[in-house]
Amino acid sequence: METALTDEAKRDAPMTYLLLGNSGLRVSETALGTMTFGEDWGWGSDPAESRRVLDYYIDRGGNFIDTANFYTEGTSETLIGQFLEGRRSRVVLSSKYSCVFGGKATEPNEGGNHRKSLVQALDATLKRLRTDYLDLYHVHAWDFLTPVEEVMRTLDDQVRAGKILYAGVSNAPAWIVAHANTLAAGKGWTPFVATQIQYHLGERTADRELLPLARALDVGVTSWSPLAGGVLTGKYDTNASKYEGQFKRSDVFPFVPLDERTRHIATVVAGVAQRIGRPASQVALAWVRSQGVIPIVGARTVEQLRENLGYSDLVLDVDALAALNEATAIEGGYPSNFLAAPMGKTALFGGLDPQIRSHRPQWLPEQTGEHTVPRTALAS
């Protein structure tokens, strides 16, 4: 079985590697999400299928594995530790801390971002993963209680101790990431080299602040749930009356509103997919990649993962991108709308903005109809 799987993987498109943020670390263009490793939450894969998924991903050249201490109550990390026996050095192993197992704390310091939580969680994670170090360790979600100084100093201590190599942050506002990295630069501490965010065709609010921040500070960006919990794959009926009962995960992680806008976006994705002759999942993932974001792709079966990774050789054409962007554009809000308005531009540039070129990367807004969408140059 292992030989056949390897041969199958070799026939598929090879993986491309990217530098992760302001680091020299090379990661594959698609990360493997492992929240599905284990059946503890009622919708994951058994150990045998989880191993097959991991083996196929590595055989395809993937090296960026994402997990978290509380995924499937620790089972995800435990299985990964078993599966990577003898090949740990081949992968970039990433985990996260802050969240409480089962969502029910037995004492007040069990979760959160503070030093005690981080140190205890990291030691337990390393034990489950059967490794001495993590390549990347994320703050899983910002708790708004722990001082930024405490978080960054504690992460830096773990780097100096050799327990982690790089630090990242997930589910945090842009101003927190900017504050943290500015503080780290001034103190000589380890900065965040990556941020993990919710980002897909149905959730683009990160376009307002998080993605501009990442480009300005050279922070790598990974996307959790790039297929919107499966909604963008087309496997779920888009009829609102039939949604109920179809989403096991949405009962636990209700992050995708199953409303008219979501159904419209899923329909547009399906239309693009039909026109170009590719699965809807590949269209959605190719769009995420086109935004400079690394999608974290999870799968319950090898067949599902193989189909999803098939997007690696897909470059969306101008018509496809236009259709997807039009269906998913968001309101920029203040100050983007103000800066994009004719009055704002006239006040700033006196009508000469089309003639001005900047050699520095920009992230300025541009108005298109009712929506404001970002662009990366002052004048094109």
CA nearest neighbour of 95 among 22, 37, 175: 37
Q: Are 312 and 342 in the same domain?
A: no
Q: Say yes or no: 301 and 212 in one domain.
A: yes
From CA 368, how far away is CA 366, in angstroms rounded?
Answer: 7
Catalytic residues: 71
**Is 224 in the same domain as 320?**
yes
Q: How many CB atoms lie within 10 A of CB 284?
A: 28
pLDDT confidence tier of residue 49, bands split at 50, 70 and 90? very high
Of 157-166, 245-254, 293-302, the poorest mean pLDDT is in 245-254
**Amino acid symbol at 190:** T
DSSP state of 16: P
- Residue 247 and residue 107 in one domain: yes
pLDDT tens readout for residues 11-32: 577 789 999 999 999 999 999 9
User: Are 243 and 361 found together in one domain?
Assistant: no
pLDDT of the residue at 3: 39
The reply to whether 185 and 296 lie within a common domain is: yes
Is residue 254 a part of any domain in this protein? Answer: yes
Tokens 């065709």, residue located: 201
Q: 252-280 pLDDT, tens per residue?
A: 455 677 788 988 999 999 999 999 999 99
Last residue of a domain, one of 294, 309, 328: 328
How far is residue 193 from each of residues 170, 196, 225, measured CA to CA in Å? 11, 10, 20
Q: How far is it, in rounded angstroms, from Cα 110 to Cα 91?
A: 29
Q: Label residue 311 exposed, middle or buried (CB < 10 Å: 0-12, 13-18, 19+).
A: buried
pTM, rounded to two decimals: 0.90
Question: Quick check: 184 and 152 in contact, CB under 8 A?
Answer: yes
Residue 281 lies in a domain: yes
Q: Are 183 and 198 in contact (CB under 8 A)?
A: no
Same domain, 60 and 126: yes
Instruction: Look at residues 328, 347, 367 and tell me which one is the last residue of a structural domain.
Output: 328
Clarify whether residues 118 and 156 are in a common domain. Answer: yes
Domain count within the chain: 2
For the chain, the C-alpha Rg in angstroms (whole number) is: 21
368 belongs to a structural domain: yes
Predicted confidence (pLDDT) per residue in 201-259, tens digit: 999 999 999 999 999 999 999 999 999 988 999 876 555 444 444 444 555 455 677 78
DSSP secondary structure string, 199-242? -BTTB-GGGTTHHHHHHHHT-EEEEESTTGGGGGGT-S---GGG
CA distance linking residue 57 with residue 296, whole number of Å: 12
Q: Check pLDDT > 80 for residue 373.
A: no
Is there a domain that residue 138 lies in? Answer: yes
Q: Are 368 and 311 in the same domain?
A: no
Q: What share of the chain is helix, strand, coil (3-state, %, to 5)?
A: 45, 15, 35
Residue 43 domain-assigned (yes or no): yes
| 361 shares a domain with 266 | no
DSSP conformation letters of 307-345? HHHGGGG----HHHHHHHHHHH-----TTHHHHHSHHHH
- Rounded distance, CA 180 to CA 162, Å? 21
Whether residue 323 is found in the same domain as residue 350:
no
The helix-helix angle for 75-83 and 47-59 (nearest 10°) equals: 50
* Domain interval for residue 355: 336-375
Q: Give the pLDDT of residue 245.
A: 44
Residue 12: CATH number of its domain: 3.20.20.100
- Pair (125, 61) in one structural domain: yes
Residue 380 lies in a domain: no
The one-letter code for the residue type at 35 is M
